[in-house]
A and B are shown apart, each in its own frame.
Chain A
């Protein structure tokens, strides 16, 4: 099933797994919008209990972007689900290190790995 959200956000669902693919920077200027749009779309997909955020097309993610990821982490936790991240670039990995996100959320180098582990 393919659900097109808008240019900067796509949601692909396969059984109980979903891949949320952002396209473009996830920063203070768009973070609220992306967060609310993501939650709204996932809200109607109650069967999804494993969410992977695909960052392969995200050149940068700032502290507000970290907030989006954490918001979705809590959203999934509230439905006894899980969240992981796939394909962050080197800059985003540094952001995750500095904010200690990797202590909370698994990060995978490829989407394939994330799909297998999820």
Chain B
């Protein structure tokens, strides 16, 4: 059984300029909790930025069609840092997508889009989705 070192929840608006301040808080927690954290920080930044980009670009965009205004929408983020793993969760306000039929492994060579989830899959040790596909959880071994 893991000893829970850090468990934090965050909320951000559906805006790209919210990402860097959020990640600063996340990295601050990581640096306090994990020694020699540079490698996991690399991987986490790469994965987290793609998770948040997807949340804003797809989840928020779809949710905005039914919402009164984009400013009212929020993305929920969860951070857990245990003794052996770090878990990062992103839940967007959108309807989700068909993750069960999505190829997470094959990285496109010349396509200009469609790399985000594959990058998250590459840098993390495991990813999971909720049933709807509007919440993604990425696990990183420490």
Which residues of A line the B interface, CB within 8 A?
Answer: 27-29, 60, 62-64, 66-68, 70-71, 73-74, 90-91, 94-95, 98-100, 103-104
Contacts and interface: CB of A to CB of B under 8 A. Distances in A.
Interface in B50-64: 50, 53, 56-57
Mostly helix, strand, loop or mixed at chain A's interface? helix
B49 A99 contact: no
A90 B111 CA distance: 24
B119 interface: yes
Closest 5 pairs between A and B when the two form their complex, measured CB to CB:
A29-B16, A67-B112, A63-B115, A28-B53, A63-B116
B102 interface: no
A81 B57 CA distance: 32
Interface of B: 16, 42, 45-46, 49-50, 53, 56-57, 107, 109-113, 115-116, 119, 122-123
Contacts of B115: 63, 66-67, 99
Contact of B16 (A27, A66, A74): A27
Given A67-B112, A70-B112, A99-B107, A27 B49 contact: yes
B123 A98 contact: yes
Nearest to B41: A91
Nearest to A31: B112
A100 B112 contact: no
Contact of A64 (B42, B45, B53): B53
Which of A60, A62, A71 has the most chain B CB within a 10 Å cutoff?
Answer: A62
Given A67-B115, A70-B112, A99-B115, A28 B123 contact: no
